[in-house]
Amino acid sequence: MLGFKLEVMIRFERVTKRFYNVTALRELTLTIERGELFALVGPNGAGKTTAIRLLCGVLKPTSGRVTVAGMDVARDGVRVKRMIGYLPEEPSLYERMTPRQLLHFFASLYGVRDAEDRIEELLALVGMLDKADVRISTFSKGMRQRISIARALLHDPEILVLDEPTMGLDPLTAKELRDFVSGLRGKKTVLLCTHYLDEAEQLCTRLGILHRGRLVAQGRPEELKAELGGAGRDSPTLEEVFAHYTRGSRG
Partner 1 sequence: MSSLAIARRELLEIAGNRKFMLAFGVQTLLLLLLLPAFGNVFESGNLALPSPTLQGFVPLGVVVESDDCDVLLQALEANRRLRLYRFSSPPVEELERGVIAGYLLIPESYREGSLTQLEVVLVLGGGVKSSVAQDAVEESVAEASSRIAAQRRSELELNLESAVSVRREFLRQVVVEGAGGERFSSFFLSYLVPLVLFFPVFMSGGVVLDAIAGERERRTIESLLGAPLSRKSIVSGKFLALWGFVSAEVAVWLLGIGVMGIPVAKPVEAMVLLAGVNALVIALAMALTLYSRSLKEANIALMLLYVPLFVGLIYALSVEFFSPRDFFSYIPFNLISRAVTGEGFSHEVLLQVLLLLGFGTLLCIATAVLLIERDDVVFGSRPGIGRLFSDACEALLGAGFAGGMALALLMSPLVFVTAVLVEVALALLYTGLLGYSAKAVYLTVFSIAVTEELLKLLPLRVALRKQRSWLTARASAAIGAASATGFFIMETLAVGAAVLVVFGIPLTKLLYARATTTLVMHTLASSIAALGLYRRKKLGTVLIVLAILLHAVFNLAVVEVVL
Q: Under the criterion CB under 8 A, does residue 213 sit at the interface with partner 1?
A: no
Closest CA to 72 of 164, 168, 64: 64
Instruction: Tell which one of 131, 151, 178, 188 touches partner 1 (CB under 8 A).
Output: 151
Q: How far is the CB of 240 from partner 1 (least distance, A)?
A: 34
116 contacts: CB under 8 Å, gap ≥ 6: none
Q: Which letter does DSSP use for residue 111 in this model? A: T
Q: Per CB under 8 A, does 25 bind partner 1?
A: no
Q: How far apart are CA 168 and CA 49, in angstroms?
A: 17
Pick the closest to residue 29 from 191, 197, 218, 163 (CA basis). 218
- Name the residue nearer to partner 1 (CB basis): 11 or 81: 81
Q: Which of 71, 110, 167, 219 binds partner 1 (CB under 8 A)?
A: 110
Q: Which is nearer to partner 1, 1 or 78 (CB)?
A: 78
82 binds partner 1 (CB under 8 A): yes
Span interacting with partner 1, options 86-94, 189-197, 203-211, 228-236, rule CB under 8 A? 86-94
Asked whether 100 and 123 are in contact (CB, 8 A), the reply is: yes
Decide if residue 144 touches partner 1 (CB under 8 A).
Answer: no
Through-space distance between the first and last CA atoms of the chain, rounded to whole angstroms: 50
58 or 69: CB nearest partner 1: 58
**Binding string, residues 159-198; x marks residues near partner 1 by CB under 8 A:** ----------------------------------------
Q: How far apart are CB 59 and partner 1 at their closest, in Å?
A: 5
Task: Show the binding pattern over residues 117-136: x = contacts partner 1 (CB under 8 A), - = does not.
Answer: --------------------
Phi, psi angle pair for 234, to nearest 5°: -65, 140
Q: Residue 161 forms beta bridges with which residues?
A: 86, 191
Cβ atoms within 10 Å of 248's Cβ, excluding its own: 7
Q: Among the candidate windows 27-35, 79-87, 210-218, 237-245, which touches partner 1 by CB under 8 A?
A: 79-87
Q: Which of 211, 219, 198 is nearest to 244 (CA)?
A: 211
Binding-site string for partner 1 from residue 89 to residue 108, where x marks contact by CB under 8 A and - marks none: -x-xxxxxx---x---xx-x
Count CA atoms within 13 Å of residue 53 on its CB side.
16
Q: Which helix (H) or strand (E) holds 115?
A: helix 115-125
Verify binding: residue 20, partner 1, rule CB under 8 A: yes
Q: How far apart are CA 64 and CA 251, in angstroms?
A: 32
* Residue ranges binding partner 1 (CB under 8 A): 19-20, 53, 56-60, 77-79, 81-82, 84, 86, 88, 90, 92-97, 101, 105-106, 108-111, 151
